[in-house]
Amino acid sequence: MLTSGSVSAAVVVENYRLISIESTTAPSGSAGDDWFVYRIEQGKNVTTGYRRGNRGDVGAEIERIVNALNVRLLVKGQRYRSAGRPPKPPPGRTDLG
Protein backbone atom coordinates (compact mmCIF):
# COMPACT_ATOMS: atom_id res chain seq x y z
CA MET A 1 0.00 0.00 0.00
CA LEU A 2 1.31 3.45 -0.92
CA THR A 3 0.77 6.35 1.37
CA SER A 4 1.09 9.93 0.41
CA GLY A 5 3.46 12.01 2.43
CA SER A 6 5.10 15.31 2.03
CA VAL A 7 8.78 15.60 1.51
CA SER A 8 10.19 18.99 2.29
CA ALA A 9 13.38 20.11 0.68
CA ALA A 10 15.30 22.97 2.20
CA VAL A 11 15.98 25.32 -0.68
CA VAL A 12 17.98 28.41 0.07
CA VAL A 13 17.60 31.18 -2.45
CA GLU A 14 19.75 34.21 -1.89
CA ASN A 15 18.35 37.67 -2.44
CA TYR A 16 19.74 40.01 -5.06
CA ARG A 17 21.88 42.81 -3.70
CA LEU A 18 23.66 45.80 -5.14
CA ILE A 19 27.40 45.39 -4.68
CA SER A 20 28.76 48.46 -6.48
CA ILE A 21 28.04 51.57 -8.51
CA GLU A 22 31.03 53.32 -10.08
CA SER A 23 31.52 56.17 -12.52
CA THR A 24 32.73 54.94 -15.91
CA THR A 25 33.24 55.97 -19.50
CA ALA A 26 30.39 55.64 -21.98
CA PRO A 27 29.81 52.13 -23.35
CA SER A 28 30.89 51.54 -26.95
CA GLY A 29 28.61 53.39 -29.34
CA SER A 30 27.27 55.73 -26.64
CA ALA A 31 28.06 59.34 -25.85
CA GLY A 32 28.22 61.34 -22.66
CA ASP A 33 30.34 61.55 -19.57
CA ASP A 34 27.67 60.75 -16.98
CA TRP A 35 27.71 56.94 -17.09
CA PHE A 36 27.82 54.48 -14.21
CA VAL A 37 28.53 50.77 -14.13
CA TYR A 38 26.72 48.75 -11.49
CA ARG A 39 26.95 45.19 -10.27
CA ILE A 40 24.13 43.16 -8.76
CA GLU A 41 24.90 39.90 -7.00
CA GLN A 42 22.78 36.86 -6.21
CA GLY A 43 24.84 34.13 -4.61
CA LYS A 44 27.75 33.47 -6.95
CA ASN A 45 26.05 35.18 -9.90
CA VAL A 46 26.97 38.77 -10.74
CA THR A 47 25.13 40.93 -13.26
CA THR A 48 26.79 44.05 -14.65
CA GLY A 49 24.82 46.91 -16.16
CA TYR A 50 25.23 50.52 -17.25
CA ARG A 51 23.08 53.57 -16.51
CA ARG A 52 23.37 57.16 -17.50
CA GLY A 53 22.49 60.06 -15.21
CA ASN A 54 23.50 61.62 -11.93
CA ARG A 55 24.68 59.41 -9.06
CA GLY A 56 21.53 59.91 -6.97
CA ASP A 57 19.08 59.06 -9.74
CA VAL A 58 21.13 56.08 -10.92
CA GLY A 59 21.42 54.73 -7.38
CA ALA A 60 17.66 55.07 -6.81
CA GLU A 61 16.87 53.31 -10.10
CA ILE A 62 19.23 50.42 -9.39
CA GLU A 63 17.68 50.00 -5.91
CA ARG A 64 14.25 49.76 -7.61
CA ILE A 65 15.64 47.10 -9.95
CA VAL A 66 17.09 45.09 -7.05
CA ASN A 67 13.82 45.33 -5.13
CA ALA A 68 11.84 44.19 -8.19
CA LEU A 69 14.16 41.22 -8.67
CA ASN A 70 13.71 40.21 -5.04
CA VAL A 71 9.92 40.51 -5.30
CA ARG A 72 10.04 38.09 -8.23
CA LEU A 73 11.65 35.55 -5.92
CA LEU A 74 8.37 35.35 -4.05
CA VAL A 75 5.09 34.20 -5.56
CA LYS A 76 2.14 33.87 -3.19
CA GLY A 77 4.46 33.63 -0.22
CA GLN A 78 6.62 30.90 -1.74
CA ARG A 79 9.90 31.06 -3.56
CA TYR A 80 9.59 31.61 -7.29
CA ARG A 81 10.34 28.66 -9.56
CA SER A 82 11.36 29.46 -13.10
CA ALA A 83 9.53 27.93 -16.02
CA GLY A 84 12.47 25.62 -16.68
CA ARG A 85 12.21 21.87 -16.40
CA PRO A 86 9.26 20.66 -14.37
CA PRO A 87 10.07 18.94 -11.08
CA LYS A 88 10.33 15.17 -11.06
CA PRO A 89 7.25 13.37 -9.72
CA PRO A 90 7.51 11.86 -6.24
CA PRO A 91 8.90 8.30 -6.09
CA GLY A 92 6.29 5.60 -6.61
CA ARG A 93 3.93 7.76 -8.63
CA THR A 94 3.15 6.83 -12.20
CA ASP A 95 0.75 8.45 -14.59
CA LEU A 96 -0.92 5.78 -16.65
CA GLY A 97 -3.10 8.26 -18.51
Distance CA 52, CA 69 (A): 20
Extents of the domains making up the chain: 17-78
Whole-prediction pTM value? Answer: 0.65
Q: Considering only CA atoms, which of 38, 63, 32, 66 is closest in space to residue 51?
A: 38
Per-residue pLDDT of the chain (97 residues; tens, 9 = 90+): 444 455 555 566 789 999 999 999 999 999 999 999 999 999 999 999 999 999 999 999 999 999 999 888 876 456 555 666 666 777 776 666 5
Query: In terms of DSSP H, where are the helices of the chain?
Result: 55-72
Question: Which residues are CB-neighbours of 49 under 8 A, at least 6 positions away?
Answer: 37, 38, 39, 40, 62
